[in-house]
């Protein structure tokens, strides 16, 4: 391709080079992909100043993933979810004004701050923090937040107890995209895909799979923390019938029978209510929308056949969980 070399200041042929580089993050060497251009005339290498490719950001993300740390978009998501300004949240946490902004923009948090971030991801801990620091947030806003958090705590407790009794809890690992199962996100992702005219169950299962695996591929963490099993019609959330039953029981989705021909029938799910999109980070919303658009014209058979070509599906035995390590080879 043609381009201007910043070294010889001439328009010439430049080649995009992809290479691996090890970056030292707190004493740990992390291999990431780097890209740069090489001038065919003077042989100098240079980076594209307009590129979004940031090797250090990728290394930090991988370091956080390995150590189970909170990613920047999760911090932003939590703050925006409850309507905090950066100043309010910084004061609530007892941090300096610039600290939260740096973490939201990709700086690697220290261990002490990481522990605090993990604590406030729990609704109960955030509620306690707000109640103990009454002068940080305006009174009306504080009262609304306390009411909302108490309600959320009651709901999360009942659903969480059902989940624990039925399936048990599991730690973040490569089978759930290094995120604990987040039922609120999973349920609202289901409702997002079921909006409008509804969607066949087979298609829905694949959209959830592709959304989680695509987000892991691009951002090293899944959206919902769901595990996906290899079943005959393609990848599907493990225990998916339970999740759909819960949503049907709460009146969040309706069910219609659809006919495929030759006396073959299936189910189509339709959202009865709007999904709560405030639960998702900007990157999660981006991936959910991309997946919905990418597969909008796929029939149940077409998306099922498409998913059968995924390396993760091919190399996983029937009934077993597909590892997110296969996300790198995703077809999209």
Question: Of 167, 199, 216, at which residue does a domain stop?
Answer: 167
Residue 154 confidence (pLDDT) above 80: no
Residue 4 confidence (pLDDT) above 60: yes
CA nearest neighbour of 70 among 130, 117, 28:
117
Average the pLDDT over each of 32-46, 112-126, 220-234 and give the range with the smallest value. 32-46
Q: How far apart are CA 22 and CA 24, in angstroms?
A: 7
Q: How far apart are CA 182 and CA 174, in angstroms?
A: 16
- For residue 227, what are the contacts with CB-CB under 8 A and spacing of at least 6? 170, 175, 176, 181, 237, 238, 321
Whether 93 is covered by a domain: the verdict is: yes
Residue 164: the pLDDT is: 54
pLDDT top residue among 264 and 282? 282
User: Tell me: the pLDDT tens digits for 279-320?
Assistant: 899 899 999 999 999 999 999 999 999 999 999 999 999 999
Question: Are 135 and 190 in the same domain?
Answer: no
**C-beta separation of 205 from 240 below 8 A:** yes
Whether 234 is covered by a domain: the verdict is: yes
Whether 177 is covered by a domain: the verdict is: no
Question: Are 87 and 37 in the same domain?
Answer: no
Question: Are 84 and 143 in the same domain?
Answer: yes
Question: Are 90 and 42 in the same domain?
Answer: no
Q: What is the mean pLDDT of residues 40-68?
A: 86
pLDDT top residue among 31 and 262? 31
Residue 155 confidence (pLDDT) above 70: no
Rg (CA), the chain: 23
Residue 136 phi, psi dihedral angles, 5° rounding: -80, -35
Number of domains in the chain: 3
Instruction: Tell me if residue 83 falls in helix, strand or coil.
Output: coil
Residue 161: the pLDDT is: 60
The secondary structure of residue 105, as a DSSP letter, is T
**Domain assignment of residue 41, given as a range:** 2-54
Positive or negative, the CA dihedral 264, 269, 270, 272 is positive
Residue 83 confidence (pLDDT) above 60: yes
The per-residue pLDDT of the chain, averaged, comes to: 89
The residues pairing with 9 across neighbouring beta strands, listed in sequence order, are: none
SS3 for 213-281 is HHHHHHHCCCCCCCCEEEECCEEEECCHHHHHHHHHHCCCEEEEEEEEECCEEEEEEEECCCCCHHHCC
Residue 124: the pLDDT is: 87
Residue 208: the pLDDT is: 98
Percent of the chain with pLDDT over 70: 93
The secondary structure of residue 319, as a DSSP letter, is T
User: Tell me: the pLDDT tens digits for 71-81?
Assistant: 999 999 899 88
Whether 67 is covered by a domain: the verdict is: no
User: Tell me: the pLDDT tens digits for 111-139?
Assistant: 999 999 999 988 889 999 999 998 889 99
Whether 80 is covered by a domain: the verdict is: yes
Percent of the chain with pLDDT over 90: 59
Question: Are 82 and 147 in the same domain?
Answer: yes
Question: Are 237 and 322 in the same domain?
Answer: yes
Residue 10: the pLDDT is: 83
Residue 81: the pLDDT is: 85
Instruction: Tell me if residue 84 falls in helix, strand or coil.
Output: coil
CA nearest neighbour of 36 among 59, 60, 6:
6
Residue 179 confidence (pLDDT) above 80: yes
Residue 290: the pLDDT is: 97
Whether 64 is covered by a domain: the verdict is: no
User: Tell me: the pLDDT tens digits for 85-118?
Assistant: 999 999 999 998 899 999 999 999 999 999 999 9
Question: Are 215 and 312 in the same domain?
Answer: yes
- For residue 156, what are the contacts with CB-CB under 8 A and spacing of at least 6? 123, 184
Whether 123 is covered by a domain: the verdict is: yes
Q: What is the mean pLDDT of residues 3-22?
A: 87
Using left for φ > 0, alpha for ψ between -120 and 50, and beta otherwise, residue 239 falls in: left
């Amino acid at each position: 391709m043609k381009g201007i070399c910043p070294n010889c200041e001439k328009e010439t042929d430049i080649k995009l080079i992809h290479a691996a580089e090890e970056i030292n993050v707190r004493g740990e060497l992390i291999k990431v992909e780097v890209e740069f251009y090489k001038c065919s005339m003077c042989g100098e290498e240079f980076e594209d100043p307009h590129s979004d490719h940031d090797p250090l950001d990728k290394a930090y993300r991988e370091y956080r993933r390995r150590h189970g740390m909170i990613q920047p978009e999760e911090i932003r998501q939590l703050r925006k979810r409850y309507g905090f300004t950066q100043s309010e949240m910084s004061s609530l946490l007892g941090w300096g004004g610039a600290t939260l902004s740096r973490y939201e923009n990709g700086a690697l948090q220290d261990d002490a701050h990481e522990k605090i971030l993990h604590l406030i991801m729990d609704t109960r801990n955030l509620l306690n923090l707000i109640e103990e620091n009454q002068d940080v947030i305006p009174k009306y806003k504080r009262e609304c937040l306390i009411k909302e958090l108490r309600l959320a705590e009651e709901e999360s407790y009942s659903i969480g107890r059902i989940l624990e009794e039925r399936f048990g809890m599991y730690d973040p690992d490569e089978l759930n995209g290094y995120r604990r199962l987040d039922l609120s996100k999973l349920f609202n992702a289901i409702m997002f895909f079921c909006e409008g005219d509804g969607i066949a169950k087979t298609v829905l299962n694949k959209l959830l799979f592709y959304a989680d695996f695509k987000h892991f591929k691009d951002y090293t963490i899944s959206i919902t923390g769901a595990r996906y099993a290899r079943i005959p019609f393609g990848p599907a959330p493990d225990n998916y019938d339970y999740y759909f039953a819960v949503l049907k029981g709460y009146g969040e989705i309706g069910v219609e029978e659809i006919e495929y021909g030759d006396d073959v029938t299936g189910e189509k799910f339709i959202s009865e209510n709007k999904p709560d999109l405030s639960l998702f980070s900007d990157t999660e919303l981006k991936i959910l929308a991309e997946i919905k658009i990418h597969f909008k014209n796929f029939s149940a058979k077409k998306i099922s056949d498409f998913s059968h070509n995924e390396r993760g599906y091919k190399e996983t035995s029937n009934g077993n969980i597909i590892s997110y390590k296969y996300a790198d080879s995703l077809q999209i």
